[in-house]
Structure 1
Amino acid sequence: MNTWPELTALYEVLPELGSCALYDVHIDERDTSVTLGFETAHLPDHPLPEWGEPGTAYNTLYFTLVFTGVRDLRISGILAEAERTVRITEAATGRCEVAVAGGTRSIRFSAAGSRVTRVRVGLQGAL
């Protein structure tokens, strides 16, 4: 279930989600979706040519995962901790179980599906 063609085309080995900065969490109760925005300094093995030269044109990759058909959403605190784990597993029902947990905060839910909606690069720390 965790196969995202937009990312697997870029990487030999996908970055571990727990090592990526979680910069955005958006919960949409109308569409029963949760969007998680990640950024990583683990640059792609196969970058897109239009991105330019790694290190000078960009040093960070941003990507957004949208989870749809969300059920059993549980939130404890506001998730802004640097130390946290991200787990996405497939349940016997075929749904994916998502858990992002820090020392005192967490967000957990089950989703019918997931997809990448945006991949972009940028220069982190550039003025």
Structure 2
Amino acid sequence: MSTAPWPELAALYDTPPELSSCPLYYVHVDERDTSVTLGFETARLPDRPEPQWAHRAYNTLRFFVVFTGVEDLRMTGLAAGHPDGGDHVLIGVSGDGRRQVTVTGPSRSLGFSAAASAVTRTRVYLRGSV
């Protein structure tokens, strides 16, 4: 699944970036709300930036995807990874319409199904060289 189902990104891009090209830098599990939030970043700048970004210097967009109605959560190795740490994120849709999410990487793995997902926040910033 690409990022196309998220209208919040479609409003910024003619063709939103594929998740496979966006490093995962943030994972938050909220067991009370049965949600998982994943944070991604991309150096691919928006085709239609937000007006409040017009007078800022930036070279990176960060966005947060919240998955709700999470079930069958499986986690191993919760070590924080570097944004370019090699995590691989796959999102598919099952026959009953649930999102099937897997994250695999050198220091962690995460898997779950979710009833829905949405981009809840986008922001730009100036990322220095690492």
Displacement of 1:67 after TM fit? Answer: 0.2
1:35-84 Cα shifts (integer Å, max 9, x gaps): 0111111111111232126xx61111011000000000011212526112
Displacement of 1:100 after TM fit? Answer: 1.1
Runs of 4+ in 1 over 6 A off after TM superposition: none
Question: Which of residues 47, 50, 53 in structure 1 aligns to 2:49?
Answer: 47
Q: Where in structure 2 are the equivalents of 1:27-66 lying within 5 Å?
A: 27-52=29-54, 57-66=57-66
| Seq. identity, % | 59
Displacement of 1:18 after TM fit? Answer: 2.4
Question: Which of residues 107, 112, 116 in structure 2 aligns to 1:113?
Answer: 116
Displacement of 1:19 after TM fit? Answer: 2.1
Secondary structure of the equivalent of 1:6? helix
What residue number does 2:72 align with?
72
- 2:19 maps to 1:12: no
Displacement of 1:104 after TM fit? Answer: 5.5
Question: Which of residues 92, 98, 109 in structure 2 aligns to 1:95?
Answer: 98
What residue number does 2:25 align with?
23
Distance (Å, rounded) in 2 between the aligned partners of 1:9 and 1:30: 31
Read off the aligned partner of 1:114 and give its amino acid letter: S
Question: Structure 1: which 5+ residue stretches go unaligned?
Answer: none
Are 2:63 and 2:123, in contact at CA under 8 Å, matched by a contact in 1?
yes
Aligned length: 124
Are 1:18 and 1:84, in contact at CA under 8 Å, matched by a contact in 2?
no
Question: Structure 2: which 5+ residue stretches go unaligned?
Answer: none
Read off the aligned partner of 2:25 and give its amino acid letter: Y
